[in-house]
Amino acid sequence: MNDEVLYSKTAIESCLSEMEASSKKLKDQIETLMQDTKSSQGFFNTPEASEAYNKKSGDVSKDLTDLDGILQMLRREISDGQVNMNEMDKKMAQQFME
């Protein structure tokens, strides 16, 4: 059995950058959704229809916000793992210098 752990620092950095970009895109989509919801209020014939639209819009916004929270949590975990791997690399390199 091989005990080697291989990883690509470049791939990890790329992954973290993509996750950050996705998070920003989600936040932009939430903001756009909320603006569109506010501007669409005059299109409804009844208060009930407007309330139903607001509720659905709020549900979608909450789902996107929850998804962004998960994405940010994963990003932190990957970033922490990267820091730990870098520290381990430094410790291993120091052992060769002794």
Helix-, strand-, coil-residue percentages of the chain, each rounded to 5: 85, 0, 15
> What single string gives the DSSP state of each residue in 14-48?
HHHHHHHHHHHHHHHHHHHHHHHHHHTGGG-SSHH
What is the model's pLDDT at position 73? 95
What is the model's pLDDT at position 1? 56
What is the model's pLDDT at position 21? 94
| pLDDT (tens place) for every residue of the chain, 98 residues total | 567 777 888 999 999 999 999 999 999 999 998 898 888 877 888 889 888 988 988 899 899 999 999 999 999 999 999 999 889 888 888 887 77
